[in-house]
Structures are given as structure tokens and as C-alpha cells.
Amino acid sequence: MAKPVVREAARRRRRPTRSGTVLSEEIIVGTALRVLREHGSTGLTARRLGAALGADPSTLYRYFAGMDDLTRAIGDELMGRALEGWTATGDWRADLRALGRAIHASYLAHPQAAVLTASRVTGRPREIAVDETILGILRGAGLADAVAVGVYHAFIDQSLAFAALDAGSLALTEEARTGDEEMWRSTYARLPAESHPNIAATAELLARRMPHSAYPMALEMLLDHAAARVARSGT
Amino acid sequence: MAKPVVREAARRRRRPTRSGTVLSEEIIVGTALRVLREHGSTGLTARRLGAALGADPSTLYRYFAGMDDLTRAIGDELMGRALEGWTATGDWRADLRALGRAIHASYLAHPQAAVLTASRVTGRPREIAVDETILGILRGAGLADAVAVGVYHAFIDQSLAFAALDAGSLALTEEARTGDEEMWRSTYARLPAESHPNIAATAELLARRMPHSAYPMALEMLLDHAAARVARSGT
DNA sequence: AAGGTAAGGTCAACCCTGTTGGCATAAGAG
DNA sequence: CTCTTATGCCAACAGGGTTGACCTTACCTT
């Protein structure tokens, strides 16, 4: 690595780019989110981001080790925003539900960015803060460590996995205006009842439900499971 | 599109490539799976696949509209394999559990391919066959259509979402031998107890559990939920 | 069996991508 | 005020998907 990246905290000199803007990790990540929204999940390129920042593409390598490193920073930003829009109440079940929805919503607020990042563990500070919070809620509810870790694992993986999946269709819909509901109606509703009796019988219900996320339902299932464990540990 | 793709069924002439092999969608998809396994989830390129097939990269465009189209065909292949390794017994709960595990296992058998495809709905024939099967199991169990569609939605999305997530770490581990468990131990176990008391208290449990999939647990939660609905509908 | 049609393999070229080494310049330390 | 060096810029590299033109040969028709 000929050009070692300087940590944001240790950054001293702030030299403006040719177009006048002064860069920072924060500004770069924010601009990357905008570029992703405008150009789709595959539209974030070093050249395009450089142009959006008014800087040479290679300048990015002064702030991130590569596009992959930048991608993880974007993911951490979404995690951070999820935690910002959440406050503890003391009711573990309500808190966990709210946190799950906050994570899901934070990623879905930037579907194109979520597609890139949601299926990756970043190991960055704000993701770790979320993990700490979840474990705190579960242990605070009275679950034994082993059980808390199990529920935590299912919770975070489920939240991220659904965020990635749901963001995928959302981003796709916005990129190519195919209309997902239309796809369901056009593809699935046309299947003959002889070969696909079950799809044919439920085509209308499918078309109405599939464009929406199954995450809320999965989240409630997880909360039910956790509640059962909490009740058992209480006796 | 100057070169319209000929549907596989309508393909008449089978002209061997320069190196002698005769192409087909099946051979291309199979070779793509091999290339993915050998070169990682980002290692499937038109040029590399062409070389592996002993054909010019542009030949691929006679069979698929583009790399994206090929990607969806790969995903459908994995779905097809999942359904092949599954047989109905008549016990809805056992059948659904087995099918979920078959889907999950089929994708994880090709982690690099799964990363590319699991977060996408292909709308291709074998994916539709899986959907039809799931709905058949649930309706056969006696669930009302609206409930069956809801459980189906959660089931298929959960299975695909976890497949994508789990494949991600699996593919990553195989690509860059970083060792995911090591990452957990090195990053999370080092956090000071003052700032991260809950992670610190459960670090060992986390390191042991996080490298494994949370899908089995999530699947059982879904089956419990479905069983409750079946019981209610029976009364 | 001969001939025509076009499917399908090949080639060269296009513009895109991430990334890097060398260079220029100005910010901030002393 | 000077010096160091962080930081922005430039040019270039290898490799990516994709396409239009070309050629060859498998197959259908006669």
C-alpha cells in the first residue's frame, strides 16, 4: 500500500479540492448515499463519486483503503442512524421491537445502499454499539447469557437479512420501473390452474402481499419466542 | 438488442465451439458454478467463463441476455436442486422443515453463487415450482388461503434472506482466509468492559455461536407460529 | 443430393471500472 | 518565514461487460 490511509481523527490538514469543497469521511459517505440513490446500487463508482464531490477519484484513496472499505463505512452509517432514531423505555419487548424496526427502516430508507451493505458484517464502531444495545436489552430482561446470545444472534441476522432482501426489491423497483406488483400479477397470475393449482387459487392474495415486507411478521415470531424464554426463566 | 437470445427449447443447431465442446444453457450454468467456486463470488466474468468453456466470451450472449440474466439462471438452478433433494411425506410440519433446510443447504452448497443470487427473485420456472410446493403444503395442512399466503411469504423470504446472509460469510471465509471466528475473537473480545459490558460478558459465547447460522432457530420459530395457526383453524 | 438460410461461434473494438505511482501545492508546525 | 509532508491531481494500467460485423457450418427445403 503506497498510500496509507490516515485515520479521520488524526487528520490535520484540510486542503480544499480544486472545486473548493473540503473533504471528510462524513461528507464522502453522505455524498455516496446520494449517488447511490440517484444512480442505483451498482451506480456508485470512484469516478462518479469523485465527480459528485468535485474531486479526483484517486483522492478517495486518501480516506478509504478502497471501494470496499468505503462500502463498509456506508453500512456503518446506516447502523448509526438506526440507533439514533431509537430510545430505550425499559420495556424489553417494546424496546427490541422498536430497535428491529429502526434497523429495518434505516436500511430501507436507502435501498440502494442497503443492497450493497446489509449482507456484510462491518465490525465498525456503530455496528458494535447496536450489538451492545441488543445484548443489553436481552440480558436486562432476565435471560441467561447463553439464551440471550442465541436470541441476539437470530435477531440481528434476521434483521439484516430481511433488510437486504427487502431493499433488493425496493432498489430494483426504483431502478427499472418494472413495478414489482405488476410482475407478480403478470407472471404468477398467468400460471394455469392445472399445473399450479395452489398459486392459481391464491394469485390475488399473493399479488397483494408479496410486494410488502415479511419482516414485521418474522420479528413478532422472534419476540414471541423470546417472551416464552423470559417467562420460563422467571419461574 | 441486435442479437436476440434464442430460447433453449427452440434451439436447433448445435455447432461446436472452436475447442470442440457443444454449448447449452445447462453446460454454461454448470461451468459458471464451477468458476464461482474456484474464483469467488466476484470472480465470474464473461471472459473467464468463456475461457472455462473454451468459447469466446461473446458467445454467452447467444444464450443469455447478459451477465445479469445468467445470474438469475444460476439462482434458478440452485432452487431446482433444492426441490430435487426433497420428497413429501404428508406431515406438513416435517415437510416444511425439510424443504426449508433443503433450500438453505442448496444455496450454502455454492456459497459464492448464493451471494450473487439469493437476494433476488428470479421469476423463473423452478423457483415457481418451489413456491407452488410450499403453498401446497400449507393449504394441505388446513390453513385458510390468507393465512397460508402469509406464512408462505415469511417462509420463502426468511429462507432466501438467511441463505444470502449465511452464504456471505461462508464465501468470504473461503475467499480471504481471515477466519470469521478469529474476527469475532479479535474484534469483539478486545472491547473494554467499561464501554461494552454486555459484549464483554458474553464474548466467549458470541465467538462460539456467531460463525454458525441462525436459520435453524428462525425456521423453528416459524414452524411454531404456523402450528399455532393450524391448531386454531382446526377448532 | 444440392442449395439456401440463418444460427451460432469468433474477432476487434468500445467505454467503463478500481487502483496506483509520480508530481504539485499549500497547510500547519517550528 | 521556512520546511515538511499531507493531501489533491494527473496519467496510465489491467481487466470488466457488451456490441456489430464477419464467417462458417448445421439444418431445412427442394
Residue A118 near residue A75, CB atoms below 8 Å: yes
**pLDDT tens digits for B37-88?**
999 999 999 999 999 999 999 999 999 999 999 999 999 999 999 999 999 9
* Residue in A131, A165, A206 closest to B164 by CB: A165
Q: Which pLDDT score is estimated for B175?
A: 53
Residue B179: pLDDT band by 50, 70, 90 thresholds? Answer: very low
Q: What is the C-alpha to C-alpha distance for residues A14 and A16, in angstroms, rounded to an integer? A: 6
Residue B227 CA to its chain's centroid (Å):
26
Give A42→chain B minimum CA distance, Å. 12
Q: What is the C-alpha to C-alpha distance for residues A11 and A29, in angstroms, rounded to an integer? A: 16
- Cell 410482475 belongs to A183
* Residue in B145, B165, B199 closest to A131 by CB: B199
Taking alpha carbons only, the member of B93, B229, B104, B148 closest to residue A221 is B229
* Residue in B165, B222, B224 closest to A157 by CB: B165
Is nucleic acid strand D under 7 Å from A7's C-beta? no
Mark yes or no for CB contact A187/B123 under 8 Å: yes
Give A8→chain B minimum CA distance, Å. 20
- Cell 480544499 belongs to A16
Q: Sign of dihedral through CA atoms A133, A134, A138, A139?
A: negative
Q: What is the C-alpha to C-alpha distance for residues A200 and A204, in angstroms, rounded to an integer? A: 8
Q: Which residue ranges does chain B devote to CATH 1.10.357.10?
A: 89-234
Q: Which residue ranges does chain B devote to CATH 1.10.10.60?
A: 1-65
Q: Which pLDDT score is estimated for B13?
A: 67
* Residue in A199, A214, A217 closest to B132 by CB: A199
Q: Taking 80 as the threshold, does the pLDDT of residue B12 lie above it? A: no
Residue B128: pLDDT band by 50, 70, 90 thresholds? Answer: very high
What angle in degrees, to the nearest 10, is found between the helix axes of B92-108 and B215-234? 160
Taking alpha carbons only, the member of A123, A93, A207, A110 closest to residue A164 is A110
Mean pLDDT of the B120-145 span:
93
Residue by residue, pLDDT tens for chain A (235 residues) are 456 677 877 777 778 888 888 899 999 999 999 999 999 999 999 999 999 999 999 999 999 999 999 999 999 999 999 999 999 999 999 999 999 999 999 999 999 999 999 987 788 899 999 999 999 999 999 999 999 999 999 999 999 999 999 998 888 765 554 545 666 777 788 899 999 999 999 999 998 898 899 999 999 999 999 999 999 887 6
Contacts of B121 in chain A (CB under 8 A): 169
Mark yes or no for CB contact B165/A161 under 8 Å: yes
Which DSSP string do the residues of B95-127 spell out, in sequence order? HHHHHHHHHHHHHHTSHHHHHHHTTS----HHH
Q: Encode burial over B168-187: b for 16+ CB neighbours within 10 A, e otherwise.
A: bbbbbbebeeeeeeebbbee
Is nucleic acid strand D under 7 Å from B53's C-beta? no
Mark yes or no for CB contact A214/B183 under 8 Å: no
Q: What is the C-alpha to C-alpha distance for residues B191 and A125, in angstroms, rounded to an integer? A: 11
Mark yes or no for CB contact B149/A202 under 8 Å: yes
User: Residue B170 carries which side chain, given as an amino acid letter?
Assistant: L
Cα-based distances in Å from B71 to A140, A173, B46, B107, B117: 45, 18, 11, 14, 6
Give B15→chain A minimum CA distance, Å. 33
Torsion of CA B17, B20, B22, B27, to 10 degrees: -100
**pLDDT tens digits for B13-34?**
677 777 778 889 999 999 999 9
Grid coordinates given for A203: 394469485
Contacts of A196 in chain B (CB under 8 A): 128, 132
Q: What is the C-alpha to C-alpha distance for residues A161 and B160, in angstroms, rounded to an integer? A: 9
B1-65 has which CATH code? 1.10.10.60
Topology of domain A89-234 in CATH is Tetracycline Repressor; domain 2 (1.10.357)
Is nucleic acid strand D under 7 Å from A59's C-beta? yes
User: Residue A35 carries which side chain, given as an amino acid letter?
Assistant: V
Which DSSP string do the residues of A32-82 spell out, in sequence order? HHHHHHHH-TT---HHHHHHHHTS-GGGGGGTSSSHHHHHHHHHHHHHHHH
Contacts of A139 in chain B (CB under 8 A): 198, 201-202
Taking alpha carbons only, the member of A191, A188, A225 closest to residue A208 is A188
Contacts 24+ apart (CB under 8 A), A94-98: A95/A137, A96/A134, A96/A137, A96/A138, A96/A155, A96/A223, A96/A226, A97/A219, A97/A223
If you measure CA to C1', which residue is closest to nucleotide C7? B13
Q: Which residue from A minimizes the CA distance to B215?
A: A154
Give B161→chain A minimum CA distance, Å. 5
Q: Which residue from A minimizes the CA distance to B167?
A: A119
Provide the mean pLDDT of chain B. Answer: 90
Give the three-class secondary structure for A230.
Answer: helix
Q: Which pLDDT score is estimated for A1?
A: 45
Q: Which pLDDT score is estimated for B2?
A: 52
Q: Taking 80 as the threshold, does the pLDDT of residue B217 lie above it? A: yes
Q: What is the C-alpha to C-alpha distance for residues B171 and B149, in angstroms, rounded to an integer? A: 32
Contacts of residue A190, Cβ cutoff 8 Å, sequence gap at least 6: none
Taking alpha carbons only, the member of B178, B147, B3 closest to residue A121 is B178
